[in-house]
Structure 1
Amino acid sequence: MSAVDIAGKSAEESFYRLLEQYREDAAYFVPDNARKVIAQYGKATKYVVLGTKDFGAQFIAALGDKGTALHVVDDFKCHRGEQFWGVDIISTDVFLDLVKKDPSIVAINSCRYDHSKRFFDDLCRRHDIPCLNFEQAVRVLDLNGSLDYRVADWGPVIADRADGFVALSKRLADSYSQETLWRVLSFHLTCDPEWYLNVARQYCTLYFRSGLLSFTEHEKFVDCGASIAESTTGLIGTTRGKFDRAWMIEPDSINIKTLQQFLRRYAGTELERKISLHPYAVGESRARVPFNHVGGHGGSILPGGDEKPSGMVELRPVDEIIDDAPTFIKMDIEGFELPALKGSIKSIQAGHPKMAISAYHRATDLLDLPAFVDSIEPGYRIGLRHHTEDRWDTCLYFY
């Protein structure tokens, strides 16, 4: 694999070049030394996961019979005798001893944050250890079929619908949004996070500090996927508590307890009457659906209907939950943003609210979400920002 010149051309020009390379050989962007080991040892290849993060868990769960997850490296946890998803945790020193003796080992750098990623990347370079990041591993081992859609390889969709992404670039309202689009897509083609890191904004800029939206003292905020109240807290901070209404909509039973505690904080204050909690998932129509209650940001509707009744939640359209025309709608609901928008048509058409809609859960979101909004309420300007140092939190802004 030859090095990719991130700064040598415009982001758009680079995207076209990378797309051509991807179409010629999708594995072009996977390091040669790792490809050779996998080609030589096949299903006998051993993988050592670097870091105890979500991507490592996803890799171990998806690997199946395509290899063996031998160990996980975490210097802070290795002395506790713990396991990570059924795999023993070892230290960096033990890992280095192993790779000296066993040529069938490939490292998987599963770290989310730049500092940790670079630590392990540098370690593997210095010791000539074949190493893949999570996205490279998914591609070279063809794991899409056994992965959660939220961490799938976008490459096939980008290659198949490239004309749609080009059209979207022309629809975006500002040059920063266009640059963000090309760099996010280039990451998904190359599996190289340097592409989006050159345009990423801090997580604290998500929703309220995008540079695209403005807020008044009369906001009516629909918080779909209220999670642990981060977004409603952002509204309170941005408006200094001066807003008209906030509907926190959240189905995860663990998060609901957190949100109830959050509301108790404002008991007896003016904010108490302004903020309401609604324990629903949001979608196109009423239903009862299975839900994975995990707390934090990861809970999601499950496919199928064979879950235990305790895991079921009520699905409601936004149009049936809120009782006033909103001025701002935010959605971060783990890949169900499009059905939720379909259940919000009346609310959107009633007041043309500004919207912040997550567009990173499904490979098709960046195309399907703007197309739907344009179909029901023409006239929006559209912006795009990426708000973290990993693949999460690419957000579409309608204003």
Structure 2
Amino acid sequence: MQPTAPFLLGFSNQSRVILYFNSYELAKMFQPLDLPTVLLLHKLSFFVAALCFLYVRSQSRESVGLGFLAVGFFLVATASTLVSIGRVFTDYEHSLALAGTFAGLVGYSIFWIGMCRISTQKSRRREWLILCFPVIVCVTLFVTGLYEFTTARTTAMQSTAALLLLAAACTVFFDRVIEPLPVRRALAATIGFAALLSALVVLGVLFPDVALVSSRNAFFVSIVCHFAIAVFVLALVKERAEEGLKRLADLDVLTGVLNRRSFSTRLPQQMRQGDAIVMIDIDHFKRINDGFGHFAGDEVLARVAQELSARIRPNDSFARFGGEEFILFMPATGEGEASTLAESVRQLVSSIKHSIDDQKVAATLSMGLAVCTDKTCTPHALMKMADTALYASKATGRDRLTVYNAEDFERNPALSNPARHAG
């Protein structure tokens, strides 16, 4: 008599039969899937991911590249479908297999184009040259007759997939320097892992004895990769949209430079020695508005802002402070360097003639510079000093730069009276 399992001693014969039956069904559930089932799921994963890309593209048309990703995935899924049809219609098996190989190669090429576009948000003229590669490969397979062999077709398809997926992963990863979105690392890692799986499939086909993973397992894991790629691409689109909204909230709508609120958040809580602030005002701006209209005034504001922002240093902060006034923060600069930079920018911008209604209009600038000379200086105090120096520039004729000096303003308080020198 066979010994009874210890955990069944307390059960009746009927209960034991039920437990044995349930254990058998449970074991069947966890048996590995056969290759045809895995390939079907592999194909469906491409279709589902492509549908996700198309949906997001319909909701966010400014996201460049999503359409290419969808087309690429659809073509790769179509490639597998053509091969499956060829196994049913055996008279056309090799022809359909070659057509499927071509569709797959084109699909991976278009996927690479789409990933490059969604990563860089740009299109390149020469990117379409990649489509020459599928033509060359398929012509070679046809001329040599290798297209009749599954090993040759699989090697061509998966090796191409590995190379293009690796190239796409590198593009996404290295573009983080230009656009440091957090999801880039995860997306690049997922695409790179998919490339590794394709390479392992090639290794298993060419050298079955040294295969590190079976084709079935590689295809099964790649299903997860396809869904992960779709999720991370959608996350990339979402993060990019959020960054765009954040930038819009930080910028002045008219001039495109920082607004006052955003500028204030960029200032340190305590100024350091050598930090400088320049208050800038367009002279007689009201005359431009009254003489040429508010649209012309807006155009002058935008042009002056562009000229100023194009000439400041990378670590400086420049913003529209309100009306026709701008503000510039130059950290760790010192009075000598700050006054030299401010004066050179003032002279350059003031010399530009703006064309309005076939007339040339010069927008001169008055500036006030204040430099932190001790460790107790706050941003508000430094801005107040620069504002005082600005009104001194207006009081002494406009179109000039005045450096704040406490002793001079104490001797002549009228210089800093804003009511007398507005406009």
Normalised to the residue count of structure 1, the TM-score between the two structures is: 0.19
Instruction: Give the alignment's TM-score, normalised by structure 2.
Output: 0.19
Higher relative contact order (CA 8 A, sep 6+): 1
Higher relative helix content: 2
Higher strand share: 1
